[in-house]
Chains A and B, each alone.
Chain A
Amino acid sequence: GAVVSQHPSRVICKSGTSVKIECRSLDFQATTMFWYRQFPKQSLMLMATSNEGSKATYEQGVEKDKFLINHASLTLSTLTVTSAHPEDSSFYICSATGTGGTSISNQPQHFGDGTRLSIL
């Protein structure tokens, strides 16, 4: 089955540092990748959508200068949380949709196992 790998699984760092999270599709080419954030006891909230080779599309209220997304290849997207602060502590999850199929609506998204970010 389709596998999405996310790294690191957990990171703890000091306030003010930048953190990069990687999302890789291991056995398929991901034309589109999505980044979500989930706070405790809440549902997933979509942050942005990235398409290979183009700029990411951010959801309303998400600061694009703070959450930098790069999707340079069909198997890798990265999310960089710049100048992270305690309020950025959250569970960050990526997902990917592959090529093929007759419609993007018919392609299931496959999710990574998430990155738990803790900012001290």
Chain B
Amino acid sequence: DAKTTQPTSMDCAEGRAANLPCNHSTISGNEYVYWYRQIHSQGPQYIIHGLKNNETNEMASLIITEDRKSSTLILPHATLRDTAVYYCIVRVGGYGKLTFGQGTILTVHP
């Protein structure tokens, strides 16, 4: 499994963009990068995923470097409700299971 490294915690001001980095230097060519978040006492919520190209949806943008060894999740206008633990996960190819690390605790403050 390709492992990921994320900062333990980050702060962000409400209304500003939150940029969450993730390193996955051992990622294989057929492995996708997934982002989930978990708000306290709830199940994880899927945010976005990508393989090579940058991706955007209604929740966030995902920027993957050309060598695929790192990525950044961007929440363009963070709100207090975005306070959560954010997990960057590289999906094991052909099997589907997700391996959760410790994630990044994002705190959005007024």
Contact = CB atoms under 8 A, between A and B. Distances in A.
B42 A113 contact: yes
B96 A97 contact: yes
B93 interface: yes
A103 B46 CA distance: 18
Interface residues of A, number: 27
Contacts, number: 67
Interface in A32-83: 32, 34, 36, 43-46, 49
B34 A108 contact: yes
A91 B34 CA distance: 22
Name B's interface SS: loop
Contact of B99 (A46, A111, A113): A46
Nearest to A108: B46
Contacts of B96: 32, 34, 49, 97, 104-105, 107, 109
Contacts of B80: none
Contacts of A43: 87, 100-103
Interface of B: 30-32, 34, 36, 38, 41-46, 49, 51, 87, 91-103
Given A36-B100, A110-B46, 20 more contacts: A34-B96, A43-B103, A44-B100, A45-B100, A46-B97, A46-B98, A46-B100, A91-B41, A93-B43, A93-B44, A95-B98, A103-B93, A104-B95, A105-B91, A105-B94, A106-B49, A106-B51, A111-B45, A112-B43, A113-B43
24 contacts: A4-B43, A6-B43, A32-B96, A34-B98, A36-B100, A43-B87, A43-B100, A43-B101, A44-B100, A45-B100, A46-B100, A49-B97, A93-B44, A95-B98, A97-B96, A104-B95, A104-B96, A105-B32, A105-B94, A106-B32, A109-B96, A109-B98, A112-B43, A113-B42
Q: Across chains A and B, which 5 residue pairs bring their CB atoms closest together, nearest first?
A: A111-B43, A104-B96, A44-B100, A43-B100, A108-B46
